[in-house]
Chains A and B, each alone.
Chain A
Amino acid sequence: MREYNIVITGVGGQGVLTAANVLGWAALRAGYKVRIGEVHGMSQRFGSVISYVRFGEDVYGSMVPEGKADVMLSFEPVEALRYINYLKEGGVVVVNTKPIVPVQVSMGMAKYPSLEEIRKVFEEDFKAKWIGFNAEELAEQAGHVVTTNTVLIGALTQIPEFPLDAEHVREVIKLSVPPKAVEMNMKAFDLGIKAAKEILGL
């Protein structure tokens, strides 16, 4: 495989970097060359964030060019939409549908679009495949909201032609979370897999 490109979007503090790291290690262990592009510093503080994960035989820069992401993993619906231009035609978006409303919206200075509106742009204007569900709810079912990113990564492994083996990804998560949180994360991972399978009709 020449290259596989993932963009991960969300709100600073949601665990975007952690997710990127897990996928990066999984790709490294699968023998690929890996590049991850991260955001640090002030931009992390509850602002909009995007990270890039790229792997394959032929990867160079750490940023995915616009129009070239095979998939997007998004922790928040508006943050998925904000970076939609990175997705390639026919790309897939795995998105947590639970919104985080920016202060500007609460203050009445801006409007938050409806989920239907967001989905429509993905499906109609950008011809993307939409895998949206409330991952936070599933994370709570697994034991705690902090496992939201595990739920989402679980779902990601189910998309067609995803080049990393779900079990390999699971192994990396096991190694990267504190021992007492392993069980909860495995449960979250499975719930993510299940959610994606249902949506994809697998």
Chain B
Amino acid sequence: MAKVSDIVLWDKPGERVLLLGNQAIARGALEANIAVYAAYPGTPSSELTDTMAVVSKKAGVYMEYSTNEKVAFETALAAAWSGLRAMTAMKHVGLNVAADTFLSAVGMGVEGGFVIMVADDPSMWSSQNEQDTRIYAKFANVPVLEPSDPQEAKEMTKYAFELSEKFKHFVILRTTTRTSHARGDVVLGELPEEIKQGKRKFGKFKKDPNRFVDVPANARKFHPVILEKIEKIREELNNCPFNWIEGDENAKVGIIAPGLSYAYVKEALAWLGVDDVKILKLGTPFPVPYGLLEKFFQGLEMVLIVEELEPVVEEQVKTWAYDRGFTIPIHGKDLVPRVYEMTTRRAVTAIAKFLGLETPINFEELDAKYEKVKPLLPPRPPSLCPACPHRNSFYAIKKATRARAIYPSDIGCYTLGLLPPLQTVDTTVAMGASIGIAHGLSIAQNGSLSEEQRNPEKQVIVATIGDSTFYHTGLPALANAIYNRSNVLIVVLDNLVTAMTGDQPNPSTGQTPHGMGKRIPIEDVAKAMGADFVAVVDPYDIKTTYETIKKALEVEGVSVVVSRQVCALYKVGQMRRRGMKWPIYQVNEEKCTGCRVCINAYGCPAIYWDEEKRQARVEPTMCWGCGGCAQVCPFGAFEPVKEGSQ
């Protein structure tokens, strides 16, 4: 088992390897001779970016972790304007951030192939909503390619660049969690010479103000051009190698299976033992190629569309069928749920109903049996890691505000501060929104310092935001709060990496995949913007953190406390790799009074309750040695044990 980064660069055409969907896409981009890659990480897209980070230097590809999706989009777009093959990637909500540029620039088209990889997260395993990128694609009139397995993910990436170049149009490569985070066998293809030699490719931008300046006079010309392009692409997609008709040619029933749903449909049919159906496997849910539909509909008496989330294909098919005069029943969202992700069970259930069959497993019976298990299960939501510096920050914030403040928070590991016992997260909306919401709450409840009438009953508001999020979209919100003079405390939880998505660097880290970038200290930014109070603390020192927050709360205006300590998971990973050890804390049975403060107020997951002795205990395999418990325990019961270490 070689390292994945090596496999992605292997010059071994024909070799069969196991790759994550996202890694397969990275390989596809290399096989397509990509020149520029820029992205902001976001689950489930991150591993694509991380893989590009590791291989880019050897492959001669420029790669960057951008500060947000919009600037990433612009970086890659400009490269594509310069004739290079370029790619950006993001999670579905990231496209909202990039949407301004995306929708305005689409009419300008591109010169080099431009592929926008967007990873949707049906069922919201790691996201704040469940939007369907195919709707964006339709909105923008940009074609979407959707792979059904890792092999196809790689091949489609290559095809996406070609399609984009051919029509000088944007192309979206859409995955879902189950493609991005599925590992499967992939056959490696040829790498272009330039990639093998690691040759950096440079482009040339040809000025054309009529095209690249989006003044209304130009923009007016774009819209018809876009519509013309998308219809041409619809034609082209009749011959797309990822669209085909299979199964029984003479069947009376047909199933349309876009993207990953194809895998579920195939599995469901095999499970049901049904083979007298015709399948339209659709790699391009938008635009649906009409020529292929025409062929598919021949001889059919009823059709089912098995698609995940929104009825994007269903609406296109139904409209087309109506216009064409087809009157056969077309089923879709009446049998397939519109929320949460597709599963084989869902596909089996829908197809069984469609065909009037029994499901192979009596799922209701299984569910009933499982219902009896549920009461036995204690909840186990994700939690802040042992030794996570955020726990200390939240603990200090809660103590300093006596739990009486409003706590707007943001997107990152620290959102987990929502859970007991910390419970210091009251709102989480979108990247960077904590500062904007905090400002709005302060204005609504107390008024701005620049107003004459203010509410004397002061509501304390403490916003939390991570370092990466701060640079992502926190900056304009901070400028706004300072400028408009609300009264808020912003605690920047600076753990020096983008931890939730896998430790990517950001301006607070300073490091880039190419070596040293330039570090931008958050406190300098806050000071330069004119915050009324700025301080930096180490959250591992709980007392000082608490005192600093108290002080900051007394200041009128916008205070910024940077709570800086490297992410514990990141640190432990580094230490493990270097064979370093750390102390383990344990409870001194003589001293523990069973007051439960460490559990009920602090909540490190390594600490548990010993029912028999009625005392706290530390699970040695989970302790990462931060010493937070020792600072929190009123009786000094936690002590480092020098011998234990991982």
Contacts and interface: CB of A to CB of B under 8 A. Distances in A.
Interface of A: 11-13, 20-21, 24-25, 28, 33-48, 58-63, 65-68, 78-79, 81-82, 84-85, 100-113, 117-118, 121, 125-126, 136, 145-146, 172, 175-176
Given A43-B126, A67-B366, A102 B16 contact: no
Contacts of A104: 378-381, 420
Most buried by A among B183, B343, B370, B376: B183
B539 interface: no
B588 interface: no
B267 interface: yes
Interface stretch (B321-329, B552-560, B599-607): B599-607
B363 A67 contact: yes
Nearest to A64: B344
Contact-size category for B? 35 or more
Interface of B: 1, 16-18, 20, 43-44, 46-47, 125-126, 149, 178, 181-185, 260, 263-264, 266-267, 270-271, 343-345, 348, 361, 363, 366-367, 369-370, 372-373, 376-385, 413, 415-416, 419-421, 500-502, 569, 596, 599-600, 603, 605, 607-609, 619, 621-622, 646
A38 B46 CA distance: 14
A13 B416 CA distance: 16
Nearest to A61: B263
A103 to B, nearest CB: 5
A34 B47 CA distance: 20
B382 A42 contact: yes
- Interface secondary structure of A, over-half rule: mixed
A126 B369 CA distance: 8
Contact of B382 (A12, A59, A82, A121): A12
A81 B376 contact: yes
B380 A145 contact: no
Given A46-B605, A60-B263, A106-B608, A35 B183 contact: yes
Contacts of A62: 178, 181-184
A102 B264 contact: no
A61 B378 contact: no
The residue among B181, B569, B646 with the most chain A CB atoms within 10 A of its own CB is B181
B421 A107 contact: yes
B377 A82 contact: yes
Contacts of A112: 378
A150 to B, nearest CB: 14
A140 to B, nearest CB: 9
Nearest to A118: B376
A105 B603 CA distance: 11
Contacts of B267: 59-61, 65
A91 B181 CA distance: 26
A66 B366 contact: yes
Given A104-B378, A176-B1, A35 B607 contact: no
A162 to B, nearest CB: 19
Nearest to B598: A106
Contacts of A146: 646
Nearest to B2: A175
Given A46-B385, A47-B380, A41 B500 contact: yes
Interface centre among A28, A41, A176 (most CB of B within 10 A): A41
Which 6 A-B residue pairs are closest in the complex by CB-CB distance?
A: A47-B382, A41-B43, A41-B126, A62-B182, A36-B183, A110-B378
